[in-house]
Amino acid sequence: QAKRLGGDRIEPFRPSFKTHASGRVELESDLRRAFGRNELTLAFQPIVKLATGEIVGFEALMRWQHAKRGPVSPAEFIPIAENTGLIVQLGQFALDEAVRRLSDWQKLPGQSKLFCSVNISSRQLIRQDLVNDVRQILKRYGIAPETLKLELTESLVMDNPERSAKLLDNLKQMGVGLSLDDFGTGYSSLSYLMRFPFDTLKIDQSFLRGDAQPQRPIIVQSIVTMAHQLGLAVVAEGVDNELDAGRLRQLNCEYAQSYMFSPPLTAEEARRRLQDRTTKKAS
Ligand code: C2E
Ligand code: MG
Ligand code: MG
Ligand code: MG
């Protein structure tokens, strides 16, 4: 758990780094350079409507192709970016690039409502002038605000709840979507639903992927029911079998995002996927 030391310093506790300390320092300086070297790109994972399987949006996921190491996982470099402040630049890049792509794809026939989700770190929300950035990006690319969705996670409240609430209210007023990511994994996730103006809840993969403990369907059902009663749409993350997908459909869970439907795609592949669909429809 990241602990606030005052100011902007955040002291990380990342067990895996202890054993790879020198590797991390190297990665840190490499990450600074990666930006200028065009080693960072976005992948886009389709989000499908469960009832029909049609692609209704994408989540933008950052990718780092390290010149020597090859691909580095965001699970490894995003925490480094957060702890060094680099996340502000990386986040701005992701937001701009995702909306730029989205505005292009929305011009395809029948795709004007297509949405894109972008992950926002709590540090990025608090430090960066995110509200202004979002306003400018929406204007720059001329997309409808509700087709941009920002994904936020658990660490939100820990850092600065009052400021977070105010910023999220401002974003909400602008019309952008707000998704609570990885729902169910943090101890305060239920209280988030009272504090913050989310419109979408993403059920964490741990409830849908891998070993099927008997409790899982009950937990998933409760989450979907509660979300709907609160007026939230639901995305099931990582659903990996037809049985679970069928159960989710019966619960009227709106969306799914998982390898079962599609892995993350390059921007070019994503565009092609949308085109194929419209071509098929027309014929
Ligand atoms: P996330 O936001 O929860 O994104 C979903 C992650 O689950 C992605 O991993 C995606 O590839 C993976 N995933 C989706 N469906 C399946 C499935 O069926 N099976 C399996 N095994 N995995 C699945 P990825 O791309 O490695 O990203 C990991 C995390 O890194 C993200 O989790 C997010 O928290 C963070 N991240 C990625 N890009 C960004 C970014 O641009 N900004 C920020 N702040 N964080 C990012
Ligand atoms: Mg996410
Ligand atoms: Mg997630
Ligand atoms: Mg996650």
pTM of the model: 0.91
Using the predicted structure, report yes or no on whether residue 148 has a pLDDT greater than 50: yes
For 45-57, give one letter per residue: b (16+ CB within 10 A) or e.
Answer: bbbbebeeeebeb
- The whole-number pLDDT of residue 37 equals 87
Model pLDDT for residues 79-117, shown as the tens digit of each residue: 999 999 999 999 999 999 999 999 999 999 999 999 999
Give the ligand at the shortest distance from the Cα of 88. Answer: 1
C-beta of 238 in contact with ligand 1 (< 6 A): yes
Distance (angstroms) between ligand 4 centre and the Cα of 150 equals: 13
C-beta of 119 in contact with ligand 1 (< 6 A): yes
Kindly provide the ipTM of the predicted complex, given to two decimals.
0.98
- Tell me if 99 sits within 8 A of 137, measured CB to CB: yes
Q: CA 257, CA 264: separation in Å to the nearest integer?
A: 10
Q: What percent of the chain has pLDDT over 70?
A: 88
Using the predicted structure, report yes or no on whether residue 18 has a pLDDT greater than 80: no
The residue whose CA has the least distance to atom 37 of ligand 1 is 61
For 160, residues 6+ apart whose C-beta sits below 8 A from its C-beta are: 122, 126
- The whole-number pLDDT of residue 113 equals 98
- Residue 188's pLDDT band, with cuts at 50, 70 and 90, is low
- Tell me if 177 sits within 8 A of 146, measured CB to CB: yes
C-beta of 121 in contact with ligand 1 (< 6 A): yes
